[in-house]
Amino acid sequence: MVPKHWPKATIMTDRYKSNEIGIVLYPGAQLAAVHGLTDLFCIASRLSAKIQENGGLPFRVTHWSPHDGDIACVYRSEAFDTPRPDILILPPTLADLPDPHTRAAIGNWLLRQHAQGVRLVTICSGAFLVAETGLLDGRMIAVHHSCAQALTDCFPRIAVDAKEPMIEHTDILTAGGFMAWVDVALLLIKRLFGDAVRAETARFVLTGHSAGAQHFAGFTPRQTHADGAVQRAQKLVHLRDGLGLSLGSMADAARLERRTFLRRFKNATGMTPIEYCHAVRIARARELLEAGDMPLKKIAEALGYVDVSSFARAFRRTYGTPPAAHRRLHGGAIA
């Protein structure tokens, strides 16, 4: 059985000693995740000092990157002598993984850190870097559906679940969504600083959204309604990026008869289920365009379009410009 929560004693102890989170800035890492995580943790630290809920414990964020065959600290949010993270986060990549030599250096370093008690967090495709260490063998982990099969093919000893947003073990937390770094940050903020700081951080950065809601570039789905059945269906659509879902599968997730589901979904969200799936899928495309340099063909394939032309037509209908032109205008906007 896969444990879903760190033991309570570990959480309570770590709340007072985990004062540094490291982010692995490897070649190709999604900069939006790296900088977004950094900002969220620093905001939480400032709010915590104001609320004084963490007893005044100094907190910092560090970035770690391959350098001369080893891994070096390349950024510190605060000036201090010896960086030593208690938690290391592997963000996702929008490009190919680093070369084998770099992967080996990262893997050996992660093994040394893990042996010293450092907990690891993987987000989406960041799981590949930890998978190469063997630390995930025999475990169930959460990954994004777009890389689930590749991870299974490369590492058959790992059990992959593309439906769960997060799966936790005592020493490793894995998250599957492309934008899961937001949820990961808020979870760790809650663990490190407490509920009040987590709630205040969410209010500070997610104004106009409900805490725990899914967020997309250019699309704000209605999630503040009180229809729990529809919210279950929305969660499924978000996890799958709107891909490969039938009306029946969404109605099953909502635990409703189809006609009832159609009526309640439209009333709650203002959209039909098919329109909602399309909106999520095209919003994911926009995020990929703005956050990196993934080729249009790969974006089209990852989001289930027949070819680049059909993807370009769908994107232009929604946003008024072709995807290539949108990238030229807004590339780097998320990062």
**Phi, psi (deg, nearest 5) at residue 334:** -70, -45
Q: Looking at the domain assignment, is residue 152 inside a domain?
A: yes
Is 149 part of a structural domain of the chain? yes
Supply the DSSP string of 16-77, one letter for each residue: HH--EEEEE--TTB-HHHHHHHHHHHHHHHHHHHHHT-STT---EEEEEEEETTEEEEEEES
**Model pLDDT, residue 154:** 94
How far apart, in whole angstroms, are the C-alpha atoms of residue 264 and residue 268?
6
pLDDT at 202: 78
Secondary structure element (H or E) that encloses residue 180, with its range: none
pLDDT mean by block of 10 residues, the chain; 335 residues: 37 50 94 90 87 63 91 89 91 87 95 96 95 95 88 94 87 85 89 83 63 61 84 86 88 93 94 92 84 81 88 89 85 50
Number of domains in the chain: 2
209, 224, 140, 137: which is closest to 179 by C-alpha? 209
Q: For position 18, what pLDDT does the model report?
A: 56
Does 247 lie in the same domain as 197?
Answer: no
Residues 176 and 239 in one domain: no
Q: Is residue 47 located within the same domain as residue 161?
A: yes
89 and 159: one domain? yes
CATH of the domain at 323: 1.10.10.60
Q: What is the pLDDT of residue 331?
A: 64
- Whether 176 and 263 share a structural domain: no
Statement to judge: residues 92 and 158 lie in one domain: yes
5: part of which helix (H) or strand (E)?
none
Amino acid making up residue 308: V
Assess whether 252 and 308 both reside in one domain. Answer: yes
Looking at the fold, whether 192 and 293 belong to one and the same domain comes out as no
Asked whether residue 3 is domain-assigned, the answer is no
Whether residue 2 is contained in a domain is answered as: no
Final residue of a domain: which of 150, 181, 203? 203
| Helix ranges restricted to H, 79-194 | 100-115, 127-131, 145-154, 181-193
- Which of 203, 221, 244 is the C-terminal boundary of a domain? 203
Q: Could you tell me if residue 234 is inside a domain?
A: yes
As a 3-state breakdown, the chain gives helix, strand, coil percent values, each rounded to 5, of 50, 15, 35
**CATH code for the domain of 81:** 3.40.50.880
Pair 124, 20 in one domain: yes
Same domain assignment for residues 267 and 196: no
Q: Looking at residue 269, what is its pLDDT?
A: 92
Q: CA nearest 204: which of 39, 77, 58? A: 39
193 within domain boundaries: yes
87 plus 141 within the same structural domain: yes
Residue 208 is assigned to a structural domain of this protein = no
Q: Is 70 exposed, middle or buried (0-12, 13-18, 19+ CB in 10 A)?
A: exposed
User: How far apart are the C-alpha atoms of 41 and 236, rounded to whole Å?
Assistant: 28
CB neighbours (10 Å) of residue 100? 9
Residue 244's alpha-carbon distances to 1, 273, 288, in angstroms, are: 28, 12, 19
Q: Is there a single domain that holds both residue 241 and residue 282?
A: yes
Domain range holding 109? 8-203
The count of other CB atoms within 10 Å of the CB of residue 88 is 23
Q: What is the pLDDT of residue 13?
A: 37
**Structural domain contains residue 66:** yes
Instruction: Give the other-Cβ count within 10 Å of 109's Cβ.
Output: 18
Indicate the residue type of 68.
Answer: D
Compute the C-alpha angle 286/291/297, nearest 5°: 60
Gyration radius (Cα) of the chain, Å: 20
